[in-house]
Structure 1
């Protein structure tokens, strides 16, 4: 099946929020406190995505990018990239609709994210943070060439903290390929 990767905007907030909540419930059950995945998750994600996608970030160098993966006209996944003051770009979210994982959508989104960073932020390192207990995601990032570059604690909505790793991809060339 063909995946279309396109830029997202505020009109995608509802679809992204729903997918985000479903993905959290699937991927994070048993990894995060149960209350973080409860009844209020979908509404919280909706509010966050509406705010994120409607915000004015004061210029393109700091404006986040939302990439939407569509299959058969439906949102199948998304990636959210946030430029950081240190010159790196945080891949703050990479989620694929539950039931569609393992089919290449995540890799297509990651490749599109790397290519976008190479175009919009030449020389920038792309990085993300992943729960240490999320072994499935860690295996995916390592297969995709991610390098473990740090370890720390992540603070989550609700105030709980969990151990996590940072994975990075070196600055990429215009086609998304690492500089040699």
Structure 2
């Protein structure tokens, strides 16, 4: 499968938001309330990506993976106030998982972070119950931290943990 990774643009907002929502609905079906996943989530993701990718909001960097001109996955990274680089999102089309796209996006993100912010740690936050994602990150050298409680504005809590790459 030929994958091309390129910088994301405002024109990608809708497709990225749709994939983001599909990924959450698949990965978090037994972790987050169905009322949230099937409710406001899609609208929240649409608003998030329109804001992130609109000119004048350069908080982070989006890279999209395409296969045959279609969105296969994406990664979004942002420098944080503590000087580390946060992988705020890494998602692959649910039907394209386990073919190497996530690994390619992760390596691309690491390369970008090393070039733009040399010597800075890269990290992400992952739900503790999302064991396939944790295993993926560990296979790629990530080190899990201690569990903690994540509070969602929709009124529920889940346990997450930080995974760090020095």
Q: What interval of TM-score do these two structures reach, taking the shorter chain for normalisation?
A: over 0.9
Shift of 1:156: 2.4
Count of aligned pairs: 166
Contact 1:150 1:167 in 2 (8 A): no
Shift of 1:42: 1.9
Shift of 1:101: 0.4
Correspondent of 2:81 among 65, 80, 85: 85
Measured in 1, the distance between the counterparts of 2:16 and 2:153 equals 18
User: 5 Å matches for 1:18-167?
Assistant: 18-54=18-54, 56-57=56-57, 63-167=59-163
Measured in 1, the distance between the counterparts of 2:146 and 2:106 equals 20
Measured in 2, the distance between the counterparts of 1:32 and 1:55 equals 32
107-116 vs 46-55, which moves further: 46-55
Q: Higher helix share goes to which structure?
A: 2
Shift of 1:157: 3.9
SS at match of 2:82: coil
Measured in 1, the distance between the counterparts of 2:91 and 2:113 equals 18
Shift of 1:55: 5.7
Contact 2:84 2:121 in 1 (8 A): yes
The TM-score, its normalising length taken from structure 1, stands at 0.88
The TM-score, its normalising length taken from structure 2, stands at 0.95
SS at match of 1:163: strand
Residue segments in structure 1 that go unaligned for 5+ positions in a row: 171-180
Contact 2:51 2:57 in 1 (8 A): no
Measured in 1, the distance between the counterparts of 2:148 and 2:56 equals 30
Q: 1:155 to 1:55 in 2, by over 3 A?
A: farther
Shift of 1:14: 0.3
